[in-house]
Structures are given as C-alpha cells and as structure tokens.
Amino acid sequence: MIVVDREVPEVPSEGQAPTVASVPAPRQPRPKLFGDLAGPLGITWGFALVAAWVVVVAIGYAVEPAPVDPNAPVPLLAALLNSALLATWGAMAAGVVQRRRFAAVASMVGGVVLLALTVACPASGHHSFGAWWGVQLAGAVGLLALSSRALRRS
C-alpha cells in the first residue's frame, strides 16, 4: 500500500480569522530588450553613456601607437566602420537629447563597431599587437555592457 503525505488545511476555530494560503504572485513577463525603442531613457543613463564614450575614445586614442606604415592607405573596411561609428554617435546623441531608449541601442551598435575596429586594426597590419589593444578591447566591451544595462533598466 502506498501512503501519500497530504497537507490538510487548518480549519479556523471559533473567534479566529481564516488564514489565506500564501500564493506567489504571477511572474511578470520580462520585457523585450529591443521593445519600445521610443520609450523613455533616464537622464542619468544618457549622461552615463555619453561620458563613457568620451572617456573610452579619449583613452583609446591616447594609448594607440603610431601605424606600422603611416603612408599606407586606410583599408576600405576601416573607412566604412569609422563612418558607421560616427553615424551611431549621431543617433545616440539624438536619442539622449530626446531621452529615448534608442540612444542605448545606438550606443550598443557603436560598441559592436568599435569592437570590430579594435580587432581589425592589428589583424589588418595597420598596428602591431600590444597592451594598447587590451585597453581598447576592454573599453569596447565595457561600452557594450553599459549600453545593455541602460537598455534593460530604462
């Protein structure tokens, strides 16, 4: 014979208020990361994104060494990626001014472009590998993380 242990609800005695079993609240669906891009972005997140970009780009330029061959033409891919980076900065600036979530998306796309530029630079032979590469790589990943957090929190 199988015995099943069942919890029997208590019946309140006279004069006692009935107890309500604690039922967990239904779990709210998690909002989509890229949903409602026209939604509001907090002013603090906007300032944080702009400040982070200024710091990362300034440090990146400060630690980047001279090109291996300064007379070599800039590869087409690098020129296109630089143009895309400038476009993402413009979109981010417009989003920050309007306090819209698409500013964080533009910053995230810019972080991906910056990461691609960081990886492609020594891979193309424009610069040699060095400690500067790790600094720029960490900056690009940091911008991606900050942008993602701003997008989730807004």
* pLDDT of the residue at 40: 75
The per-residue pLDDT for range 4-22, each reduced to its tens digit, is: 556 655 555 666 665 555 6
Name the nearest CA neighbour of 56 among 110, 122, 7. 110
Question: Domain residues for 93?
Answer: 43-63+75-153
The verdict on residue 24 lying in a domain is: no
Total of domains in the chain: 1
The verdict on residue 18 lying in a domain is: no
- The 3-state DSSP class for residue 84 equals helix
Q: Fill in the DSSP letter of residue 75.
A: P
107 with 92: CB under 8 angstroms?
yes
Distance CA(88)–CA(144), nearest Å, equals 13
- The 3-state DSSP class for residue 36 equals coil
133 with 122: CB under 8 angstroms?
yes
The verdict on residue 1 lying in a domain is: no
Question: In DSSP terms, which residues pair with 18 in a beta bridge?
Answer: none
The verdict on residue 34 lying in a domain is: no
The verdict on residue 82 lying in a domain is: yes
| Cα atoms in the Cβ-side hemisphere of radius 13 Å centred on 40 | 3
The per-residue pLDDT for range 43-93, each reduced to its tens digit, is: 888 889 999 999 999 999 898 888 878 787 878 888 899 999 999 999 999
User: What's the gap between Cα 64 and its chain centre?
Assistant: 24
User: What's the gap between Cα 65 and its chain centre?
Assistant: 28
* pLDDT of the residue at 129: 76
Distance CA(13)–CA(124), nearest Å, equals 81
The per-residue pLDDT for range 98-128, each reduced to its tens digit, is: 898 888 899 999 999 999 998 888 777 777 7
The verdict on residue 35 lying in a domain is: no
The verdict on residue 127 lying in a domain is: yes
The verdict on residue 13 lying in a domain is: no
Compute the average pLDDT of residues 13-40. 63
